[in-house]
Copies of this chain bind each other. A is one copy, B any other.
Amino acid sequence: MGKEFLTVKSREEVEKLIRSLPALGTETVKVVEAIGRIVAEEICAVEAVPHFARATMDGYAVRARDVFGASESLPALLRIIGSVEMGRAPDFSIGPYEAAEIATGGMLPDGADAVVMVEHTERVDEDVIEVYRPVAPGQNVLGVGEDIPAGKTVMGPGARLRPQDIGMLAAVGVTEIKVYRRPRVAVVSTGDEIVPPDTPSPLPPAVIRDINAYVLSGFAEMAGAVPGVMAHVVDDPRELIDTCRSFIEDHDVVLVSGGSSVGVRDYTLEVFEAITDGQVLVHGVAIRPGKPTIFGSGRGKYLWGLPGQPASAAMVMVALVCPFLLQIQGRSPEFPFCRSVLKGFLTKNVPSVHGREDYIPVVILPEKTDEGFVRVEPLFGRSGMISTLSEADGYIVIPEHVEGLYEDEEVKVYLL
C-alpha cells in the first residue's frame, strides 16, 4: 500500500526471473500414462519403421516392370504363385510375370517392388490375373524406414507428449520414458475470517468460506502440477511458519493466499524470510490485480504469497504462477497462462494506468462483428467478488506503457 520497502518489479523482470529457474528433476514413467508430460531425454529409433516393405493397399504384389503400359485394352497377364500371410515373411519370391495376393500391411515378397490395387485387376482363373493399370516401382508400398529411418531422433527434451507422440513411441518400442517431474503444490489460505468450504449454512456472521484453496489448487492442476494438501491458518505468524515449514517438506511449492498486502496483518513476508532463509526474490509486481505478490525460494523449494481476494489471487495464478509451474516442469511457458487465444474487439473503453500491467476479466458476447470477430465485454467487478471471475470467459491484458484501451479496439482474449 505504497510503503517504501515494497520495491515493485515489472512483470517482465519477474518473467525473466521465472525463465531462469531450472526444471525440478526427472522420473521414468510408462509411456501409456505420459500424456501431457514433458520429455526429458532424447529418443532415437533403434530400428527402422517399418523394418520390412509393407503393402499400403489390398491387391497383388508385382514387379512394376511386368505391368508397364498395362491398360483396359491391353492388360498385363500375371501368374498367381501364392498369397502373403499377415505377420509372416513370405517363403516364396516373385519372378518375371508372377504375382502374389497381399493385404494392406502385408510384407512384400522378394522380387516384388510394387502393389497393384485389387480394383485394377480381374481374376481370369485360379492362377491368372489381368492387370489394367501400370504401377511405378514403390507404388502402394511403404519401404523400409520410410516412416521412421533407423537412428532418427523421434523426440527430444521439452516436447509435450500428445496421443500421436505416444503412438510414435509405441512404434519404436519405447514403453517407458524419462519425463520432468510434476511439482506437488500445497495451498494455504490465511485469515481469521476464513472458514472451511464445507461449513454448513447459515454461516456465522463476519466469516466467509475459503475459496482460494480450491481455485488455486485447480489452476495448479491445469498447469500440470499435482495438487497436494490444502489448509487454512488463522492470522498468526507462528502458526503460518509452522504450517509452511511442514508442507514444504513433501511439496515443491507452497502457495499462501491472503496477508501479502502491507496491511494490518502482514505476516507473509516475515514467514517467507523465516522459511527461505532470506531468499525473497520478488516482493511486489507492477500488475493489477496482484501488486503485493511475493515469491521466495530456498533449497529447491518455492513459496508464493498471493492476494487474499479470490479474483486477484486467480489473476496472479494465470499471470505468473501457472507459467512458473510450467517452467519447473521443463516447459518453456507462455506468459500469461491460458487455454487458447482469441482475437476480438472491445465493447467499452477500459481505463488503465501507465507503469503497470492490467489484467481485466472479459465476457465474449454471443453476437459477432460484421467481419465475424467476437465482441469482448470487460467485466468491472468490485474487488473481492468471485462471481466476476466465474462469469468471465477469459481476460485481456493492458500493457505497462498503455494508459487504457478504447471501445472497438482490437484485443487478444486469453481464454480460461
Contacts and interface: CB of A to CB of B under 8 A. Distances in A.
Nearest to A34: B218
A13 interface: no
Given A171-B211, A218-B162, A1 B58 contact: yes
A7 interface: no
Interface string A317-348: 10000000000000000000001110000000
A103 B219 contact: no
A205 B142 contact: no
Interface string A159-171: 0001111111111
Interface stretch (A17-25, A70-78, A194-202, A294-302): A194-202
Contacts of A386: 49, 147-148, 164, 167-168, 171
A148 B382 CA distance: 12
B142 A206 contact: no
A208 interface: yes
A309 B217 CA distance: 40
Interface in A364-416: 382-387, 389-390, 392, 416
A314 B167 contact: yes
B103 A35 contact: no
Contacts of A50: 208
Interface string A216-246: 1111011000010010000100000000000
Interface in A116-139: 118-119
Contacts of A166: 214-215, 218
A294 to B, nearest CB: 17
Interface stretch (A247-255, A258-266, A352-360): A258-266
Contacts of A1: 58, 118-119
Interface of A: 1-2, 31-32, 35, 46-47, 49-52, 54, 56, 58, 85-89, 101, 103-107, 118-119, 142, 146-148, 154, 162-173, 175, 191-194, 197-203, 205-219, 221-222, 227, 230, 235, 261, 263-265, 308-310, 314, 317, 339-341, 382-387, 389-390, 392, 416
Contacts of A309: 56, 104
Contacts of A385: 142, 146-147
Contacts of A222: 35, 163
B87 A147 contact: no
A105 B208 contact: yes
A111 B385 CA distance: 23
Contact of A382 (B56, B165, B193, B265): B56
Given A1-B119, A54-B208, 14 more contacts: A32-B214, A49-B387, A51-B205, A56-B382, A56-B383, A86-B206, A86-B235, A105-B384, A146-B385, A148-B386, A163-B214, A167-B218, A170-B210, A172-B209
